[in-house]
Every structure is written in structure tokens, then in C-alpha cells.
Amino acid sequence: MGLGTIAVTGAAGRIGTVVREALRAEAERLVLLDRVALRAEAPNEEARTVDLRDGAAVTAALAGVDAVVHLGGVPDEAPLPDLLEANVLGTHHVLEAARRHGIGRVVLASSNRVTGFYPTGHTTGPRDPVRPDGLYGVSKAALEALGQLYADKFGLSVICLRIGSFEPAPDEARHLATWLSPRDAVGFVRAALTAPPSTRFATAYAVSANTRRFWELPDPAVLDYVPLDDAEHHAAAVPDAGLPADPAAPQAGPYALPEFTLRHIRE
């Protein structure tokens, strides 16, 4: 089944680059948005330089698209004003453009870091209350709340993917639980784009089928994708892979430390 016209924000980023390459053969047209200049690399690609903080520019850029994969924003801990502008206001502009244009599906890149303070001994699912591990996690919790609002109030179809540790291969002990392989990342995005139109709002953890994972895999009735990769196959190359995990330690690992956030708080 063809995917129609798909817009990808943050198309120059690490995940955006992988998603762009995968969807190029499936979409009738790919509209690539980023604040850095991109070049079209195929006849069905259209590249636009857009700052997500500019609502009018976002609305103009998303005219005529069937679905949006929203990957743009600040990707890690940062001062809260920067996160609010890029991740919260930027998402608002994407959702508002979708409302105005009647776009059929919006896929929002959330993060596992919205629940980083749950202990590793707890299997966390989308029904658990959020427990952000930092300011970045707070911004992604707000992104999810905006998605829920636009689904409930304006009838948009919104799917939030709580993305795991996106890496070519796991390279630290925490990744043995949290790794999201490039192949599985594409699989989750594709499943979110092709979920039934009746799906009004859903949140799912996008994580590979890791033996040590502490997040629920999606209910197939909500998101029909079964991940294929397991970080355990790379464990021999990961430092400290043989050390037992502390079931009481936060799932966020070092992201939960006060110092990780304090260095971004402006006096």
C-alpha cells in the first residue's frame, strides 16, 4: 500500500535520515523539513528549510500532505526555554498545521525519558503516569499532552512513539535494555503511519526486542509491529554487560542524576 505524501520534520537528523531513506521507495512524495538546508535526492523528494518555531512557515510547508512524521526538535537535555521553543511550541505548530489542513495522521517522536524515574525492575507501559528524568523528558511529556489534546478536541489521529536508544548497535550497558535499532525504528514509524484511520490517539514504546528491556512492547491492536532485533546479540562487545542490574535504579541511568539537569539551569 502506498503511503501518499509524507512530511518528515527533522529530516536531517539521525533518525530522520534513516526514515527518509526507508520511506523514499514507499511514499508517493516525501516533503523533507529541517532548519538546515537539505537537497532532494530522488524525484519524489521535496526539501524545505523551515524553522519549527515559525508557525506560519510550518503551516505553509505542510499544505497538501497526507501524514506527518514529526522528528524535529532539541534531542537531549537543554535549558528549559530552548526545549519549550523547539519541542513544545514546534510541536504545537505541527499539530495546528495538521488541524488546518485536515492531515490524516501525525506521528510524534516522544521519548522513553518521559518515564525515566521508574525503576529497572518495573516493566513500564504507556498507562503508567509520566515520571520525566529531566527537562527534556518534561518537554516530551508536554508533546504527548498536546497530541492528546488535538486528538480529543479537534479529531486528529495522533500516535506518539516513545523512542528508545537509537544507535547502530548498543555500546553501553543501559542500551542492552533500551536499544532501538535503525531497522526497528523504521518498522515502528511505518506501523504508526499505516495504523487504522480509526486510531484517534495512542502512545507506544519504540524499542527493539531486547531480552533485558523494561518497557512494554505495543499491543498489536494499537500498533501492529513486532521488533526484530535484540541488543543481547551485541552484549559481548558492550562494557559491563555482565554486571547485574540494580532493580531499584532508575531506568534513565545517568540521565536521572541531578547534575545532568543542573548544568542546564540558568541562574
pLDDT tens, N- to C-terminus, the chain (267 residues) = 479 999 999 999 999 999 999 999 999 999 999 999 999 999 999 999 999 999 999 999 999 999 999 999 999 999 999 999 999 999 999 999 999 999 999 999 999 999 999 999 999 999 999 999 999 999 999 999 999 999 999 999 999 999 999 999 999 999 999 999 999 999 999 999 999 999 999 999 999 999 999 999 999 999 999 999 999 999 999 999 999 999 999 999 999 999 999 999 976
State residue 266's pLDDT score.
75
DSSP assignment of 202-239 equals EEEEE----TT--BPPPPTTT--------GGGGGGGST
CATH code of the domain made up of 5-262: 3.40.50.720
Active site residue 136: yes
Helix 14-23 and helix 182-194: axis angle, to 10°? 60
Q: Domain coordinates of the chain in residue numbers?
A: 5-262
**107 vs 6: CA distance, rounded Å:** 11
Number of H helices, E strands in the chain: 8, 9
Element at 116 (helix H, strand E): none
Which whole-number Å values give the CA distances from 213 to 80, 176, 252, 256, in the listed order? Answer: 29, 7, 12, 18
**pLDDT value at residue 247:** 97
- 107 Cβ contact partners less than 8 Å away, ≥ 6 residues apart: 67, 68, 69, 70, 158, 159, 160, 161, 189, 192, 193
As a dihedral over the C-alpha atoms of residue 128, residue 134, residue 139, residue 144, rounded to 10 degrees, the angle is -10
Structure confidence at residue 177 (pLDDT): 98
118, 136, 150, 255: the active-site residue: 136
Task: Give SS3 for 248.
Answer: coil
pLDDT at 267: 60
pTM higher than 0.95, yes or no? yes
